[in-house]
Amino acid sequence: MTLAASILANDRLALSRLLTQIENNTQEGRKALDMLFPYTGRAALIGVTGAPGTGKSSLVNHLARYYRHPAEGEQARRVAIVAVDPSSPFTGGAILGDRIRMRDLSGDPGVFIRSMASRGSLGGLARATSAMTQVFDAANYEVILIETVGAGQAEVDIARLAHTTIVVEAPGMGDEIQAIKAGILEIADILVVNKADRPGAENTERALRSMLEIGHPRSSRHFQDNQGSSPNQMLPASHDEQEMWIPPIQRTVSTEGTGVDKLAALIDQHQEYLRRSGGWQQREQARLKVELHAYLEEALLSRWRASISEVLYQDTLQALFERKLSPQEAVERLTASI
Amino acid sequence: MTLAASILANDRLALSRLLTQIENNTQEGRKALDMLFPYTGRAALIGVTGAPGTGKSSLVNHLARYYRHPAEGEQARRVAIVAVDPSSPFTGGAILGDRIRMRDLSGDPGVFIRSMASRGSLGGLARATSAMTQVFDAANYEVILIETVGAGQAEVDIARLAHTTIVVEAPGMGDEIQAIKAGILEIADILVVNKADRPGAENTERALRSMLEIGHPRSSRHFQDNQGSSPNQMLPASHDEQEMWIPPIQRTVSTEGTGVDKLAALIDQHQEYLRRSGGWQQREQARLKVELHAYLEEALLSRWRASISEVLYQDTLQALFERKLSPQEAVERLTASI
């Protein structure tokens, strides 16, 4: 049986092996990915991001537990967690993360947890994460939680990868941290104030709310419309609401799981909104396109590598080092023959 | 006069105009860069990085002021500051930063400050930063301070760009933040405990020191050698010391400028070490190589774009969206004709 077939047959060991192949970017892994691709496109991808110390991991654990043991009347869903740590490119923090989680959710065959530290480029990390979500998707994990640490480009990349992006804040993280999040807020579909039992939770929520008003001016415009001062009030308000998603703010205490059920409900609402509005398909296609272009760049580079003589390359590099050629002139020389 | 010639003639307005061209990645900007490239390679590139709230910006300002007004017997140096904020891809925080700085160092013709928020990809940001440092270098700025916010890949990219990388910490940033820095420590040439007048500075320094011992095992091995227990003690110790740089830790209070003179001295020592050990040339070449490859990728992609028919591209994209082709199969189809 091929690796891909074993995974479709729900073989956990095969799944684990493929994830390692993907991390190492092997030929075998790529082949299996190709075979699994037609079985993808069903899972809900949920990105969870926020600064260190906000309690993201514990929140993700509780979300996973909720999906396994939901409120009465709802079906349990199979859950995968991909925990990405792009801020530790060198050390093995990922392994520690695995161990801490294991105690929480181990033994449940409907849960699979994989963590991954950054290796080499951030681009490579994004590609590996994307590939892993496809494997989980094909292996019939219905919810895939993608957790990342840090503040910056990694979050934006998650937003492109996930259907629903959750940004986690916590009280007492300092003013400057809040300010810096202004950009990140704009990628949030749902905001969480975690550690909401701590002093300052109200301030954090208020700060988030005022930042939301800056970041989503449509929400305040919408509010004005309801005041009846705009000619747009003639339009059916329900239509307007259907097309607009204003990121809600949910308080949680992830150590105790408080508010996690409400957060899960908000996630469902967002995903229903995406399906209604066409946003789901839009995000899927944007994601596939990004992935296509990543593979394309790789393919073009490897073709170029095969076409160029080592002597010409070394010679050009030397001329660059001696500043006889500029980087752009060097590229012209290196691509003249293809 | 061309833009490049004006810059070599010390025209500040032309310099400012070219930096904007570079940010917008224009043809004119690229042409000027090409012309300036032979005049680069003289400046000292110093990267300053650390989490929000550590007081990096104020430290960078004080360093710049020190280079303009150094200790007696030393020559003033022309200073450029490139402040990069990869964590705010959407908002115009960079402009605010400019204004805050202006009050400190404005009016001095030997200082040029430019800040830049992330636009699009982190790769694009790294390329623009690299291009800007080249412009400053050609324009005879002797010291270029590159400041970035955030924790993660951006820091690693700075390390590749700068000759000397300074990682700034501050007391009371929380344990988890410290832990996450474990990876970042490994790119530090010099560590700074800023806000050293605050309680907890000793703890921060102690934590850094113990992390350094994990990250740089050679430093403790070296220590053991001096105990006389290793056969390596027969080697001349001075040779060993010459080849090894153990990141020193410097305390500063950047609001008052305390310790900044000592930090400047450590930077000079590191750069002398790099020149002695061949590390300077090594870092220069690595940086040029990274830049060459970035331009190469771009050139290959634009050639491919010119060669492919829009119909084939759209058709392939559609097949990908319908999951009739996997991303890898789609790439094969899109590159079959070239």
- A186: which chain B residues are within 8 Å (Cβ-Cβ)? 90-91
Pairing status of strand B143-149 against strand B79-85: parallel
Q: Residue B294 has what pLDDT?
A: 85
Q: Which range (A31-40, B168-177, B286-295) has the least confidence?
A: B168-177
Three-class secondary structure of residue B143 per DSSP? strand
CA nearest A281 in B: which residue? Answer: B321
pLDDT digits (tens, 9 = 90+) for B301-310: 999 999 999 9
A321 close to B (CB below 8 A): yes
* Cα atoms in the 13 Å half-sphere on the side-chain side of B285: 12
Q: Residue A91 has what pLDDT?
A: 37
Residue B285: which of A87, A88, A321 has the nearest Cβ? Answer: A321
pLDDT band at A238 (very low <50, low <70, confident <90, very high): very low
pLDDT digits (tens, 9 = 90+) for A171-191: 876 544 444 455 566 788 999
Structure tokens at B179: 């832990």
- A183: which chain B residues are within 8 Å (Cβ-Cβ)? 87-91, 93
Residue B331: which of A38, A184, A299 has the nearest Cβ? Answer: A299
CA distances from A105 to A69, A137, A237 (A): 12, 19, 44
CB A331 within 8 Å of CB B295? yes
CA B48, CA A290: separation in Å to the nearest integer?
A: 32
CA B9 to chain centre: 27
- Residue with the two structure tokens 């790099």: B274
The CA distance from A287 to the nearest CA of chain B, in Å, is: 10
Query: Nearest Cα to B48, choosing from B163, B153, B146?
Result: B146
- B55: which chain A residues are within 8 Å (Cβ-Cβ)? none
Do the chains contact at A152 and B41, CB–CB below 8 Å?
Answer: no
As a whole number, mean pLDDT of residues B127-147 equals 94
CA A72, CA A63: separation in Å to the nearest integer?
A: 16
Q: Look at B317 and A85; give whichever has higher pLDDT.
A: B317
As a whole number, mean pLDDT of residues B212-229 equals 48
Q: Which of A137-151, A205-219, B154-168 is most confident?
A: A137-151
Q: Residue B24 has what pLDDT?
A: 86
Is pLDDT above 80 for A267? yes
What pTM value is reported for the model? 0.73
CA A12, CA A183: separation in Å to the nearest integer?
A: 39
- B180: which chain A residues are within 8 Å (Cβ-Cβ)? 52, 87-88, 93, 149-150
Chain A from 112 to 171: CB within 8 A of any B CB: 118, 121-123, 149-154, 156
pLDDT digits (tens, 9 = 90+) for B79-136: 999 988 655 444 334 444 444 555 667 788 999 998 876 555 555 677 788 899 999 9
As a whole number, mean pLDDT of residues A217-233 equals 40
CA distances from A66 to A226, A260, B13, B162 (A): 36, 7, 60, 47
The CA distance from A23 to the nearest CA of chain B, in Å, is: 17
pLDDT band at B241 (very low <50, low <70, confident <90, very high): very low
CA A81, CA A144: separation in Å to the nearest integer?
A: 6
DSSP string across B92-119: -HHHHHHHHHHHHHTT-TTEEEEEEE--
Is pLDDT above 50 for A93? no
Q: Residue B176 has what pLDDT?
A: 43
DSSP state of B308: S
Which amino acid appears at position A118 of this protein?
S
As a whole number, mean pLDDT of residues A83-98 equals 51
* pLDDT above 90 coverage of chain A, percent: 52
As a whole number, mean pLDDT of residues A209-236 equals 49
Could you give the ipTM of this predicted complex?
0.80
A308 close to B (CB below 8 A): no
- A182: which chain B residues are within 8 Å (Cβ-Cβ)? 88, 90-91, 93
Q: Residue B183 has what pLDDT?
A: 59
- B333: which chain A residues are within 8 Å (Cβ-Cβ)? none
The CA distance from B74 to the nearest CA of chain A, in Å, is: 30
Q: Residue B169 has what pLDDT?
A: 87
CA A61, CA A36: separation in Å to the nearest integer?
A: 27
The CA distance from A173 to the nearest CA of chain B, in Å, is: 9
Structure tokens at A263: 């957060």
As a whole number, mean pLDDT of residues A255-267 equals 95
**What does the mean pLDDT of chain A come to?**
81
Helix, strand, coil shares, percent, chain B, to 5: 60, 15, 30
pLDDT band at B248 (very low <50, low <70, confident <90, very high): very high
Q: Which range (A76-85, A86-95, A251-260) has the least confidence?
A: A86-95
Q: Residue A154 has what pLDDT?
A: 60
